[in-house]
Each structure stands twice: as structure tokens, then as C-alpha cells.
A = this chain, B = another copy of it.
Amino acid sequence: MVKISEIIEFLELEIINVFGEYENKYVKYLKPIELVDEFTLDWVSFNNQNKQQIVEQSKAKVIICDTTILYSELLYSQNKILIQVNNPKLTIALITEKFFILKQELGIHPTAIIHPEAIIGRNVYIGPYTCLGKCEIGDRTILLGNIFIDNNVKIGTDVIIQAGVVIGNEGHNYIRDKNNYCIKFPHIGGVIIEDNVEIGGNTFISRGVLSNTVIKKGTKIAQLVYIGANVQIGYHCAIRPNVMISGSVVIDDFVILAPSSTIRDQRNISKNVLIGMGSVVTKNVPSNEIWIGNPAKKIEK
């Protein structure tokens, strides 16, 4: 049970208008659209059609919406409370995180195996059957479980790593000798994962060959992703599920790689680029462009 007044206080600067009487009123939960009832905190996405109608027909008493919604006679007569914000979806995400998510348990599970020289920050969670080499884990970072982190990996603060992730094993780098046999190029670099990065389950991040593989602040890496040796990923990128990033690729800030896209080794993806689903990128991509296809080509927005 969350008081509306608490939610309004929490949102503070996000709020543009509040309509309706909310003193001593409360909501109990969030629900999918088909199960919304009078105790649900409901919301309407900015992009919906018929937003006014949705709000008027909602069984919920409290609705997060944008400022295009009119506080009509009908809404008034229904005693509905409207909380108007710029981005209802973002607002509901913030409210969910604050009021409706079970707080993550903290601590180090007794089955975690940690190298004696590893450096572990405060208020972390290190889940069961996790193996940590001689690495560094920042404050408030969460490792869910069944995770393998090798030596020479430095992880920042407020990072979330899902189950089954492997970080810091060698990448796939081989040279052919005179018999045409594969000789491994040994990797002596490490991995640096900055603050607020998130890494999805069963993803693999290679350590660098001579220098480090680097994932910068705020970047979100999805599940079942491969990141090769020496890859550099900038700030606030979104790397979606099943993406494959070959060795030495450099990705600038705010880039989005859609699901199942593949990037050739040593290519550069500049700022604000969007690579489409299932694309195969074989060239450098200039900033602010959208590339799609196999092989990927620029498309007009």
C-alpha cells in the first residue's frame, strides 16, 4: 500500500500537474492492462492513441499521464486522480523501482568463491556459485549467481550482472602458423566495466589482448551477447540480446545495437548510431546514422 502523497513527493520535479483529491488515498499495485482495478496505479503511454478515452475508461482511480489529457467532467465525476508528467513510461519505471520492487538482498553468499586478493566494495550482493578471480567489485554492485569473473577485471559501482555471465576469459584470437594450425594469441589485458553498467544473463565479455576491454558508464548490455577482446563501448549505449561484437571494435556514446546484429572486428561505430535488427556491419559507421541489413547499409530516417 503506497500513499499517493508519497508518490507525489518522490516524483517532485517530474510532475507538471496533479488533478483530483489525493489526501489519504493510496494504491496497492501495478497490473497489466487487462487486470487493472481500483487499487492499481495505472498509466498511459505518450504514444497511445485515444489516450483521453483510455483514461476515462480505466478502472483505476490514479493514473499517470501526459499533459495532453484533459481533466474532464467525467474524470472529475469519477473522482479520478491524474498525475501529469512529460514521460509517463519513464515515470512509472521510477515509481516501480522505488515502491514496487522487492529490495535486493545484500551480502556475499557463502558458496561464492573469491580470490584472496580480490577487492570487494560495500553493500554488494554476490550470489551463489559465483567465482571471482583477482578482480575489483565496486560498491552496491549486484552479481546474481552462477557468474564467473576472471582475474584482472575491474567492475564499478551500481553494476548489475545477471546469472550465467562470464567476464574476462580470453577472446577468440588465433593466428595461423606455417602448417595452417591455429595458434592462440594469448591475452594479457583485462576488462574494465564502469559504474551503472548492466549485463544480461549468459553474456560473455573477453579480456583484452595487451590493453583492456572497456564498457563505459551507463551502458546496458543484454543477454547472450559476445564482446570480443579490446572492444571499447562508450557511455549510455544499449547493446541488445544476441549481439556479437568482434575484437577491437570501438563504439562511441549513445549507440544502439538492435538484437542479433553482428559487428566486424576493428570497425568504428560513431556517436548516436542505430544498427538495425539482424544487421551485419562490415564498415565504419559515421555518427547519427541508421544502418540496416546484411550487409548493413545506411538508410534515411
Contact = CB atoms under 8 A, between A and B. Distances in A.
Interface residues of A, number: 88
B294 A180 contact: no
A30 B188 contact: yes
A177 B87 CA distance: 8
Contacts of A170: 162
Interface string A153-175: 00000000011101001111011
Interface string A201-244: 11110101011000000111011101010000000101011101
A99 to B, nearest CB: 10
A148 B129 CA distance: 10
Contacts of A241: 172, 204, 226, 228, 244, 246
Given A145-B131, A204-B224, A242-B242, A169 B180 contact: no
Copies of this chain assembled into the complex: 3
Contacts of A123: none
A101 interface: yes
Contacts of A260: 244, 260, 262, 280
A175 B144 CA distance: 23
A32 interface: yes
A188 B95 CA distance: 12
A93 interface: yes
Contacts of A244: 224, 241-242, 259-260
Nearest to A129: B129
B277 A280 contact: yes
Contact of A166 (B31, B162, B174): B162
Given A129-B129, A144-B148, A93 B186 contact: yes
Contacts of A201: 148, 166, 169, 204
Contact of A100 (B131, B186, B223): B186
B223 A242 contact: no
A92 to B, nearest CB: 8
B278 A218 contact: no
Contact of A198 (B32, B146, B184, B211): B184
14 contacts: A32-B211, A90-B183, A96-B186, A97-B184, A144-B150, A162-B170, A169-B200, A180-B236, A204-B241, A224-B226, A242-B242, A246-B259, A277-B280, A278-B295
Q: Which 10 A-B pairs have the closest CB atoms?
A: A278-B280, A148-B163, A172-B222, A32-B211, A166-B201, A260-B262, A242-B244, A226-B241, A96-B186, A32-B210
Given A31-B210, A128-B131, 5 more contacts: A87-B178, A89-B185, A97-B186, A129-B146, A172-B223
